[in-house]
Structures are given as C-alpha cells and as structure tokens.
Structure 1
C-alpha cells in the first residue's frame, strides 16, 4: 500500500459530516417555523362589516324616529286644551231680505282649564275658530253667531249649562280680521252684537 491511500478516507468523512450537518440545519429550520405564531388573519369578513353597518343604520333610524316623535307629543299636549273644530255644531238660517246670505250659528262647549285666566284665553281663541268655521261652512253667509256654553252655578247652588258667549260677527267684520292673529286682537271687542259673560271679560 502506498503513502497516498489514507486520503480518500478523509474525503468520505468530510462528505458524511456535511450531509449530517445539512440534515440538522433543515430540522432546526423546520422546528423554528412551527414555533412561530401564525400571522393574524383579517379582522372581519366583508359580510360581517356589512352586517355591522346595517345595525348602525337601523339604530340611527330608530333614534331619529324617537327625536321626531317627541315634538309631536309636546304639540299634542299644548293643543289639547283647545276645542277641536269637530266639536262645533253648525246650523244655518235663511233670513231672506232681512240678511242676505242668512245667519250661521256655531255652538260649542267651553273647556276647563287650570286657571281662570287660561279658561278665558282659550275661550276667546275658540271663538276665533268658531267664526272661521261658520264662514267656511257658508262662505256667502251674512253673519255668524258664536254660542259658547259652560256649566254655571246660580246663587242657590244650582248648576246648569249657560251661554257665556253669544257674539255676532257680520261678514264685513270677518273680512277685516286677520284670522292668523285673531287670538291676539281681542276678538270679543270686535263683535257686532251679543254678549260675553263678565267673568270671561274680567279674566282674559
């Protein structure tokens, strides 16, 4: 055997060690990949985002509906003391040449209120509505007579409905009144005839 024979053995050893090292490196890299935390996924799918948007929209609509409903309730409470036009009883009398267009009578019951002042104020406002209702029902009428009733107690303690308002308004007078401001112009003072109960005149 010559002196150069041991050299091939050293090459085989180096190759073997290289293969083993490569296997160890591959195994280590594989384990390192397993130990890493998975990357976070998308926070929410498109369907979840759409569902959330629909819920927010529905909630906003409900809040808007509640906000709109509150003023309506307040308006209803403020107007509850006034007489509704459907509570008027309207009748018409043809007076021939005595009064062209005839006479329209509008009757209603006065409503109760917390104070005497409010009672008189609402009664005068109701008178305005009664005048307008009468001329709306008979536009060619010559006169509207407003009759407002209220339970009154006499000096003997007996209570009975009494006409506390009986006021007549000619068509000419009606044409002069700005009905939008009727409640503020003292419409009882503009009557062409009739009477207003002294208690109403004193409390308004």
Structure 2
C-alpha cells in the first residue's frame, strides 16, 4: 500500500533541467509531407499546458546555455527558418546512432529573455519549424535532448518522442525520474513517468 502523500510548501519535484511540452507531427506512412515541430504557445493539451520551463530554480539562479537537439530518422530534406522571437534556426550538427539506426541531428538555441523564479522559470515557447520528408512503412524515429546550465551545473536528458524512454546525458542529471511529475499550474514534466505522449495518430508530445 502506498504511503500517504506528505504536505509540502514547495513545488512538486521534477527532474532538474529544461522541461515542458512541444508537439511533434509527421506524415502518414508512405507519404511525402512535412514534419512539424510546434511549441503551440498559449495552448493546452489533454494532459496540461504546452510550454518550456526550467525546474528547481530560485529567483537568484543563473540560467544559461539553453538548447534543444532533435534527432530524426528519416531526416527532412531541410527545415524552415525560425520565426520565433526566442529560438534560433534548427541547424544540422552531424549524426547520432540509436537502436533504430543513424539519425540526423539538429540543434536550436534559446536567445530569449530569462527571468529566474522560485520553483519554475518559464521560457518563451513560440517556436515552429516544418521540414519536408518522406516516411516509409513505419513511423519515424525521433529523439529530443534538452540542455540547460543552472548556477554553473549543466543538466541534460534525452527522451524518445512518443515514449517514456528517459536517459540522463551526464552525471549531474538524476538517473531516474521522480514519482511526482507535476508542478504548480497543472504543468507536467516532459519526463513524467506516465504513458501519455500520444496526441494523434501522427503526432506526439516530447
């Protein structure tokens, strides 16, 4: 039997680092259309709010080097230029090998404002990218890496989009996901230990 919940004056725990929700969508199988990476700023989904935020911060935290790396198989022919006020273009940075095969990797960096806050520091999430691709007989394989440095400590983890596969990318980042993946305002961590990433036949949260 589970122990009763304990009262807490602070936010519920999430893995320290860059968290939040982005929507990923892709063409139907054996179809040539666009991949879409969409922050969907100001919108919500059935599990909470879209957005990007840094967890376990204080109002005096120094938050820097915020970046996201996406790994795609198959890769798009190119990505549209960034229209975001806070995120750079998705730039190719080589390839990475995963169990599904060799993925093309792309990086975007955060250039927007950062106002540190106690518990959760919100970021601008007005990003949107499209990339032409042809998907074969199986769904594409997509991974997302999130990096942020807080008070001189880099925190980084990887998830496979559409699954709960969570991998810390350095020893500063917790090896396991905590049991309480929510924060004030109904936000859930992008590494919450629940299977609720699918938002459609050809779309998922990441």
So what's the TM-score if we normalise by structure 2?
0.26
Structure with the larger helix share = 1
- Normalising by structure 1, we get a TM-score of 0.26
- Higher-strand-fraction structure: 2
Higher relative CO (Cα under 8 Å, sequence separation at least 6) belongs to: 2
